[in-house]
Structure 1
C-alpha cells in the first residue's frame, strides 16, 4: 500500500475508533473495549511469536502478573493505580528474565511445553496464595483517577485502553523495523545462521520475551481496575490460546494483521450470538477453513530489504531510461 494511503487509512480508523462510543450501545462498547484489550495482548505476544519465533502457550501468566500486582498494591497497600503500572511492568520483566534465561535455549515443542507449564504454575499459585485471595480472587479494586476525576464509566475505560493500544502498536511497529526487529526476524528464520552472523540469539530471545511480558502486564493492570475484581479463572490456558489465535489468524509478525485478528476473535462470537447453540461450531469451522485456504493469515507480514528497495529503484530508472531512449530514437527517425 502507498505510504500516503496507509496514513489516510490509519487516520480514518482512529477517527472511527474515537467516535465509536457515541455510535453504539453499552453492550457493543463493552465488546469493543474487550477487543482493544486483546489488541494489546496480541501485540505483546506478536513480539514473542511473530517477531522472534518463540512459541509461548502461557502468555496469560504475564497478564495475571500485571493484574495481581495492581490489585494487591491498590487494595492492601492503598497505592495509586498510576504508581502500580511501572511496578507491574518491571516485575513482569523480572519474571520473564527468570523464566526465560534457563528455558529459551530450548526450541519448538520443548519451549511450548515449558511456557505452558509456567502459565499453569502462575494460575495455581494465584489459587493457593492468601495474598492473591486464593480461589476467590481480589475484590474491591479502586477505580483510577486523573486529578479529581475518577475513571468509572465504560467510555472512560474504552478511551484509556484505546490510548494504550495505540501506544503499544506504535512501539511494536518501531521495534519491528529497527535493528532489533531485524535480528529477531533472522533468529526466527534460522537461529544457527543468525548466530554465525554475530547475533546473540539468547540475549535477543530474552529481550523479546521480556518486552512481551511487559506489554502483557500492562494490559493486566488496566484489566484489574476496569473489572474491580480478578480471579484465577480469568488467566487460564484458554486465554493464552485465544491470544495466540489472534496472532495466527491475523498473520505472524504483521502488526495490522494482529489488530484485525484480535478484533475478529472477540467480535465474531458476538456477531453469531443469534445462533446461540451453533455459534462456536460456526466460529471453529470458519477458523479451520481460514487455516486451510489462507495459512499465512488474513493480513500477512511483508518484509522489504534495502536490496529490494534499491532493485526497485534501479528497475524504475531503467524503465524510465528506456522510455526516453525510445522517444529520442523516434524523434531522430522523424527528423
Structure 2
C-alpha cells in the first residue's frame, strides 16, 4: 500500500509541474497550445539520451552521453525551450485563436512522426530506455529506498516551481499576460509588446513542460511514442479546467482530482470478459463527461482565479489592475507593464 501511494504521489507531482507550465500558456496568456506535450516528450527523450550512455546495436539514438542526471535535466529543459522558441516565433507572429492551435497541432504531429520514423534520432517507435534509478549509486540508495527519494525529489521540485509561479503570477509580467488574455487590442493600446510577451510565456511554459518530461523519464526509466498521445494533453487541459484556469492552487487541485483521483479510481473498475479495453475507454468517457459538466455548470473551476482590484496588496509593482475571469465578466487593466 505504501509503495502504491508513493507511485501515485510521484506521478501527481510530475503532472502538476507539467500542468503549471501549460497554465502559463493557456491559463495566463490564453493560447490554446496543442504542441505542449511535444515539449514534455523532448524533455524526456533528451534526459534519456544524455544519461544512459552510447547506444548498442540494434538500438540507435543521438548523443549517447553519460552525464549526471541533474545536468541532463537542465539541458533537457533548455532543449524544450529552444524548440518552443522556434515554434512560438512562427506560430505567434501573426496567428491567434484556432489558427494558432492548428499550427501547434501540425508542429506536434511533425515531431511525433519524425521521432517515430527517423530511427537514428530516438530509436524510432521502440523508443529509448535504460535510465534506472538515476543518482541512486551516487547517493548510495538501494532498490527499496530509492522510490521514496525520488518522490521527495519530485515534491521539492514541485514546491520550487510553485514558489516561482506564484511570484510570477503577481508580477508585472503575470499581470501583463492576463491583460493579453482578456483583450489584446486594449493591452496594445497601453504600449505592450503582444508578440514578445506571448513568446516569453510560451517558452517559459515549455520549459516547465520539459522539466516535467525529464522527471517523468527518470520515473519511467524509458520513453517512446506510445507514451506520447493526445490523451495526455487532454488530461492536462482537463486538470486546469476542473481546478481553475489561471489559478495556481486550482491547477494543483485539478491534477489531484483528474490524475490522482479519477485516473486511479477507474483502475478498480470490474473487468468485463472479452473486453480488456473497457476500463481505459470508460476512463476517457468519464473525463469527457466531467469536462462537459464543468464547462456547463462551473466554467471557472473549483478554485477560480483570484480577482485582482485596484491597489491590490498582491501587486508589488505599483500597477493598478482589475482582472476578472473571462467567463464571469470583462477585465480592465489600468496600468503599464
CA contact (8 A) 1:254 1:302 kept: yes
Structure 1 partner of 2:109? 120
Identify the match of residue 209 of structure 2 among 207, 213, 216: 216
CA contact (8 A) 1:144 1:151 kept: no
Identify the match of residue 140 of structure 2 among 149, 153, 157: 149
1:190 equivalenced with 2:183 (yes/no):
yes
C-alpha separation in 1, matches of 2:299 and 2:199: 28
Between 1:192-201 and 1:146-155, the stretch displaced more is: 146-155
Identify the match of residue 99 of structure 2 among 110, 135, 151: 110
Give aligned pairs, total.
287
1:271 equivalenced with 2:265 (yes/no):
yes
Give the gaps of 5 or more residues in structure 2.
53-63, 271-277, 314-337
Structure 1 partner of 2:125? 135
Shift of 1:307: 4.0
C-alpha separation in 1, matches of 2:258 and 2:82: 30
CA contact (8 A) 1:143 1:151 kept: no
Secondary structure at the counterpart of residue 258 of structure 1: helix
Identify the match of residue 59 of structure 1 among 32, 36, 45: 36
Structure 2 partner of 1:300? 304
CA RMSD of aligned residues (A): 2.0
Give the alignment of 1:282-297 within 5 angstroms: 282-297=286-301
Shift of 1:222: 1.2
1:49 equivalenced with 2:26 (yes/no):
yes
C-alpha separation in 1, matches of 2:290 and 2:71: 43
Shift of 1:246: 1.0
C-alpha separation in 2, matches of 1:55 and 1:187: 13
CA contact (8 A) 1:120 1:236 kept: no
Shift of 1:303: 2.4
Between 1:27-36 and 1:249-258, the stretch displaced more is: 27-36
Structure 1 partner of 2:82? 94
CA contact (8 A) 1:38 1:263 kept: no
Shift of 1:149: 2.8
Say which one has the larger Rg.
1
C-alpha separation in 2, matches of 1:191 and 1:114: 20
C-alpha separation in 1, matches of 2:183 and 2:247: 19
Secondary structure at the counterpart of residue 295 of structure 1: coil
**Change over 3 Å in CA distance of 1:282–1:99 after alignment to 2:** closer
Give the gaps of 5 or more residues in structure 1.
1-23, 310-335
Between 1:48-57 and 1:277-286, the stretch displaced more is: 277-286
C-alpha separation in 1, matches of 2:263 and 2:219: 22
C-alpha separation in 1, matches of 2:287 and 2:227: 21
Q: C-alpha offsets along residues 166-192 of structure 1, whole Å, 9 cap, x if unaligned?
A: 111111111110000011011111111
1:77 equivalenced with 2:65 (yes/no):
yes
Q: Which has the higher helix share?
A: 1
Shift of 1:283: 4.6
Shift of 1:142: 4.2
1:180 equivalenced with 2:176 (yes/no):
no
